[in-house]
């Protein structure tokens, strides 16, 4: 009886591990199956949806699981890589990261994070472990090429400017930390927009803060005599209140102020023409009166 009991216990003890590993496949070569006797890939975690936990780590204050899954409750269904806390915490490890070793050969003693996803915010960082938004890239340039492969959008920063270019970083738009924008140039000065080249537009709207010069037609406006205007032109070689050639060459032309000044000169010129027309009409009237007073000296035939 004792021998029978011992034989049963020995048989049972050998049978337990065989039952426990009956669903796993560990061949000497080929695919490995966990909870799967017919693995279809190098590592097959078994059929069915749900969480497939691969690793458990205890780094930091909380343990965490790392794994993969299909149909974890998303809509539509997704194949997922996940990280989760082991004790009910939100996410266990703060970041999910892809890292590279700083050494070229084993043993590796330090690592650099190349891509980081913050498991609490979902923010993704490339070149930084503390992403500030949905995508945060440090120390590099971003390239986006469309399906036509005819032009690549390039975005990044260099020498104190943020750039958006086509095919190369610096051939497009440059933005300085003050929000000033340059197209084809980084010599912005204090301008909000600086362009190196020609601007083509169907319509340009310019707003002005000064009163528009319709005040020239006010009855109280003092129109300069033509004699003083002639003296000014002789001395300065340009109209009053108009920029000189030297000032335009040195500092450019203010379109709004120049258009305002031009309109003022046109309105003043209109007043001069009206005055001259009134003088001509008065002179013609005086001539007619003189003709009436002087008898004709031409003898009649």
Residues 116 and 187 in one domain: no
Greater confidence (285 vs 10) lies with 285
Domain termination residue (choose one: 139, 156, 175): 139
Is residue 262 domain-resident?
A: yes
> E strand or H helix at 279, and its extent?
helix 255-293
Asked whether residue 172 is domain-assigned, the answer is: yes
Same domain, residue pair 181 and 251: no
Three-class DSSP category at 174: strand
For the chain, give the mean pLDDT.
81
Same domain (yes/no): 129, 151: no
Which pairing describes strands 79-85 and 95-101: parallel, antiparallel, or unpaired? unpaired
Identify whether 165 is part of a domain: yes
Residue 16 counted as domain residue: no
220 and 285 in a single domain? The answer is yes
The pTM of this model reads 0.59
220 domain residue, yes or no: yes
Q: Are residues 150 and 120 in the same domain?
A: no
Q: Is the per-residue pLDDT at 262 higher than 80? A: yes
What's the pLDDT at 72? 57
Residues 227 and 272 in one domain: yes
Tokens representing residue 99 in the block: 């890292």
d(CA 122, CA 214): 60
Note whether residue 38 is domain-resident: no
What's the pLDDT band for 266 if we cut at 50, 70, 90? Answer: very high
236 — pLDDT class (breaks 50, 70, 90):
very high
Residue where one domain finishes, among candidates 104, 124, 139: 139
In the structure, what pLDDT confidence band is assigned to residue 187 with cuts at 50, 70 and 90? very high
| Residues of the domain holding 104 | 94-139
Given a cut of 90, is residue 77 above it in pLDDT? no
Q: In what order do the strands lie in the sheet with 64-70?
A: 50-57, 64-70, 79-85
Phi first, then psi: give them for residue 54, nearest 5 degrees: -100, -45
pLDDT score, position 10: 44
Q: pLDDT grade, residue 71 (50/70/90)?
A: low
- Residues 134 and 165 occupy one common structural domain: no
Helix/strand/coil percentages in the chain, nearest 5? 25, 25, 50
Judgement on whether residues 225 and 284 belong to the same structural domain of the protein: yes
Q: Residue 28 — very low, low, confident or very high, per pLDDT cuts 50/70/90?
A: confident
Distance CA 191, CA 175 (A): 11
Lowest-confidence segment of 3-12, 119-128, 135-144 by average pLDDT: 3-12
Q: Check whether 70 has a pLDDT greater than 80.
A: no
Looking at 124, 139, 154, the residue that finishes a domain is 139
Domain identity same for 129 and 152: no
Domain assignment present for 263: yes
- Residue 8 belongs to a domain: no
**In total, how many domains does the chain have?**
3
Residues 116, 151, single domain; the answer is no
Indicate if 150 and 124 belong to the same structural domain.
Answer: no
* 2-14 confidence digits (pLDDT tens): 455 444 444 444 4
**160 and 221 share one domain:** no
């Amino acid at each position: 009886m004792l021998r029978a009991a011992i034989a049963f216990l020995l048989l049972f003890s050998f049978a337990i591990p065989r039952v426990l590993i009956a669903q796993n496949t560990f061949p000497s070569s080929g695919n490995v199956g966990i909870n799967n006797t017919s693995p279809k890939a190098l590592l097959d975690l078994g059929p069915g949806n749900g969480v497939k936990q691969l690793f458990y780590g205890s780094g930091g204050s909380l343990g965490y699981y790392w794994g993969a899954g299909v149909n974890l409750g998303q809509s539509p269904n997704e194949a997922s890589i996940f990280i989760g806390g082991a004790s009910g915490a939100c996410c266990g490890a703060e970041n999910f990261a892809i890292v590279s070793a700083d050494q070229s050969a084993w043993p590796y003693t330090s690592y650099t994070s190349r891509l980081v996803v913050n498991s609490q915010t979902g923010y993704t960082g490339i070149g930084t472990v503390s992403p500030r938004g949905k995508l945060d890239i440090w120390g590099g340039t971003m390239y986006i090429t469309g399906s036509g492969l005819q032009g690549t959008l390039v975005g990044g920063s260099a020498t104190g400017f943020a750039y958006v270019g086509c095919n190369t970083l610096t051939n497009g738009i440059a933005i300085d930390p003050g929000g000033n924008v340059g197209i084809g140039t980084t010599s912005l000065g204090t301008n909000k927009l600086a362009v190196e080249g020609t601007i083509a537009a169907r319509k340009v709207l310019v707003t002005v803060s000064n009163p528009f010069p319709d005040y020239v037609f006010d009855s109280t406006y003092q129109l300069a005599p033509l004699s003083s205007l002639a003296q000014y032109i002789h001395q300065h070689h340009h109209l009053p209140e108009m920029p000189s050639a030297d000032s335009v060459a040195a500092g450019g032309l203010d379109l709004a102020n120049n258009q305002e000044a031009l309109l003022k000169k046109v309105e003043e010129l209109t007043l001069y023409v009206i005055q001259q027309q009134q003088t001509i009409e008065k002179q013609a009237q005086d001539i007619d009166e003189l003709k009436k007073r002087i008898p004709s000296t031409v003898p009649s035939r």
